[in-house]
């Protein structure tokens, strides 16, 4: 029986005790270990399988944690975590209180920088390298960045600076021709030519940026990787090593269907098959409601176009891309560009639906302010993954959009409670607004199966009273309103329930009626409690003081702290926006 190697490795120092001839066996064991855990625990599979050999080689050659290693995004960091003292706990990956699915400084000294959003690794590693030079510290600095991430503006900014910095920085370009969806753009075409040997000398973009370029080399050849990394470790200055890998390497299905196996959910670890499930009777995902509705709107209006920054499958923009390939655009990991591209289209009469995950719109905040809102251009922002997204954790929760958009003049902020409301808000936005609008909705399925109704316009800034009562009013914003509806059904005392639908403009008419007839107002939202619905209602009610008695406000929302990873239900309970917290508060107030 072959002796297990992985079970003997508790940190990279143990790894460096192995002979190079043993490393291919270790790679096989590491790959199997990742597959075993992710098959039942879910997570980011394909990227981590693709860099198994590279991960082993990096920790084998470089003296981590003295040498500093930064993984861009972090989708590919599972092998890194397992080899750096977290193998025994890896089964807790992405669980509440367990390991994070991304590199996290508080978790390990080997996680030198917290990542989760793309294209930050080169900047961070350059900052480390410049700090080491100032302190006179002899250490090496490595950033591993993918071919999709390196096309982002921030990565280019870092390359541009690093090339004239003289810093001791090694950038490893992990080129597998795919991010979550296949990579797009001119740089992708350039890298394809580079791999074919058609780009040489000063025609090489990285050499033009003053990087010592090497490669491309096979990222699954451990002997070659170790030889080249040893050479790189002996050098100084800005260098770039181009490595070719296969996302999903070692699992046939993951190699063949790289998009689906980026994060496949649960699957059979022996066959790789994802269990078939009948979803025909389930309500649709909000993402599919978006994609189908957008395609219908495009059929009715030739001015409608779609834009997504590298998330065509996740956002369901691909539905429109398949139907109207010349009117739906994947711009790559380039949120800033996506926003201003949409603004430019508006000036020429188009109606762009710019679909960006809520957490990633943070990366384009200035463009929203300066290029869209300031010019009052009616871009339609569809903010996917709003609210608490679950096991991806703090880097991916979309809980700040209401607050950070609320303070921008000219913006309309809406949050549909269900699939029909999402459909009708999208239709309303397509009818010719004179200012920008953001429509936010969560990840996953709603509760309505029959949602594909006839289009009708929604009056901007108008709430819906779903249940009328007295004494206590619950004001909800967004999909959390469905939970409120379910919760109050079972209560002996059923409070008033208002689906606010819009944070901006706020329906002050319905608020005046609530203030007049109720003693308590409960606001509930899946956004941060500071700056959102609770804050707006509190401010408005406070303005009525002196005109008579006003209700007491009780604000339920995301507290002023970063919420970590766990199931969505667990995190809602942790944040105090769950059914039990709401019903307990109502019963206490009664």
| Residues designated as active site | 247, 335, 363
Residue with tokens 């008579």: 548
| Cβ atoms of residues 101 and 90 within 8 Å | no
- Cα separation, 252 vs 355, in Å, equals 32
- Cα separation, 31 vs 247, in Å, equals 12
| Cβ atoms of residues 383 and 422 within 8 Å | no
Residue (of 544, 581, 588) closest to 559 by Cα position = 581
The angle at the Cα of 164, spanning 163 to 168, to the nearest 5 degrees, equals 65
- Cα separation, 305 vs 321, in Å, equals 10
Bridge partners of residue 328, in order along the sequence: 306
The angle at the Cα of 103, spanning 99 to 104, to the nearest 5 degrees, equals 75
| Cβ atoms of residues 151 and 188 within 8 Å | yes
Taking the CB of residue 459, how many other CB atoms lie within 10 A of it?
10
SS (H, E, C) 444-476: CECCCCCCCCCCCCCCCCCCEEEECCCEEEEEE
- Residue 186, exposed/middle/buried by CB under 10 A (0-12, 13-18, 19+)? exposed
Task: Give me the phi and psi of 307, to 5 degrees please.
Answer: -135, 135
Residue with tokens 């790679």: 27
Residue with tokens 């509705």: 293
Task: Tell me which H or E stretch contains 306.
Answer: strand 304-308
- Cα separation, 487 vs 259, in Å, equals 38
Question: How long, in residues, is the chain?
Answer: 590
Instruction: Give the CA distances from residue 37 to residues 32, 91, 103, 381, in Å, rounded to whole numbers and listed in that order.
Output: 9, 6, 18, 37
| Cβ atoms of residues 158 and 85 within 8 Å | no
Residue with tokens 């994947």: 330
Taking the CB of residue 348, how many other CB atoms lie within 10 A of it?
7
Reduce the DSSP state of residue 272 to 3 states and report it. Answer: coil
Instruction: Give the CA distances from residue 394 to residues 118, 125, 494, 566, in Å, rounded to whole numbers and listed in that order.
Output: 14, 22, 35, 10
State both tokens at 184.
Answer: 């797009």
Cα torsion through 413, 414, 415, 420, rounded to 10: -160
Helix axes 480-489, 579-589, angle to 10 degrees: 50
- Cα separation, 262 vs 274, in Å, equals 13
What sign results for the dihedral spanned by CA atoms 50, 360, 43, 63? Answer: positive
- Residue 326, exposed/middle/buried by CB under 10 A (0-12, 13-18, 19+)? exposed
């Amino acid at each position: 029986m072959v002796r297990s190697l992985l079970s003997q490795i508790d940190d990279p120092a143990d790894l460096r005790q192995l002979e190079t001839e043993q490393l291919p066996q270790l790679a096989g064991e590491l790959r199997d270990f990742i597959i075993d855990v992710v098959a039942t625990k879910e997570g980011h599979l394909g990227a981590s399988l693709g860099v198994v050999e590279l991960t082993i080689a990096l920790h084998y050659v470089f003296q981590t944690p003295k040498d500093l290693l930064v993984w861009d995004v972090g989708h590919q960091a599972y092998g890194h975590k397992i080899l750096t003292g977290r193998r025994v706990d890896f089964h807790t990956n992405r669980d509440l209180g367990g390991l994070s699915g991304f590199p996290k400084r508080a978790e390990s000294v080997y996680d030198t920088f917290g990542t989760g959003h793309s294209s930050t690794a080169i900047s961070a590693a350059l900052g480390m390298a410049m700090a080491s030079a100032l302190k006179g510290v002899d250490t090496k600095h490595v950033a591993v960045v993918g071919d999709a991430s390196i096309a982002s503006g921030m990565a280019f900014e870092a390359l541009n600076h690093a090339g004239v910095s003289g810093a001791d920085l090694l950038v490893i370009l992990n080129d597998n021709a795919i991010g979550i969806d296949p990579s797009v753009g001119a740089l992708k075409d350039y890298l394809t030519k580079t791999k074919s040997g058609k780009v040489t000398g000063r025609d090489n973009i990285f050499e033009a940026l003053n990087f010592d370029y090497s490669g491309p080399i096979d990222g699954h050849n451990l002997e070659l990787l170790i030889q080249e990394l040893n050479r790189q470790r002996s050098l100084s200055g800005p260098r770039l090593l181009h490595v070719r890998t296969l996302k999903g390497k070692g699992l046939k299905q993951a190699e063949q269907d790289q998009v689906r196996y980026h994060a496949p959910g649960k699957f059979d670890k022996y066959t790789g098959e994802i269990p078939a499930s009948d979803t025909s009777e389930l309500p649709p995902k909000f993402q599919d409601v978006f994609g189908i509705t957008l395609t219908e709107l495009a059929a009715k209006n030739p001015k409608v176009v779609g834009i997504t920054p590298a998330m065509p499958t996740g956002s369901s923009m691909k539905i429109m891309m398949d139907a109207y390939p010349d009117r739906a655009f994947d711009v790559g990991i380039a949120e800033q560009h996506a926003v201003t591209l949409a603004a430019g289209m508006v000036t020429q009469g188009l109606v762009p639906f710019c679909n960006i995950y809520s957490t990633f719109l943070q990366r384009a905040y200035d463009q929203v302010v300066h290029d869209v809102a300031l010019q009052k251009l009616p871009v339609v922002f569809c903010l996917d993954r709003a609210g608490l997204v679950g096991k991806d954790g703090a880097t991916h929760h979309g809980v700040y959009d209401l607050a950070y958009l609320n303070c921008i003049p000219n913006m309309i902020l809406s949050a549909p409670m269900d699939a029909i409301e999402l459909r009708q808000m999208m239709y309303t936005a397509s009818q010719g607004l004179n200012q920008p609008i953001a429509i936010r909705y969560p990840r996953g399925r709603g509760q309505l199966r029959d949602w594909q109704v006839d289009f009708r316009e929604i009056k901007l800034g108008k709430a819906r009273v779903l249940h009328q009562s007295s004494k206590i009013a619950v004001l909800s914003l967004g999909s959390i309103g469905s939970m409120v509806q379910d919760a109050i059904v079972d209560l002996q005392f059923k409070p008033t329930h208002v689906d606010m639908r819009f944070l901006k403009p706020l329906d002050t008419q319905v608020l005046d009626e609530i203030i007049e007839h109720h003693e308590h107002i409960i606001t509930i939202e899946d956004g941060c409690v500071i700056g959102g619905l609770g804050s707006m209602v509190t401010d408005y009610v406070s303005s009525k003081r002196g005109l008579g008695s006003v209700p007491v406000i009780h604000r339920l929302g995301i507290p002023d702290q970063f919420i970590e990873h766990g199931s969505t239900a667990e995190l809602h309970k942790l944040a105090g926006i769950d059914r039990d917290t709401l019903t307990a508060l109502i019963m206490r107030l009664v």
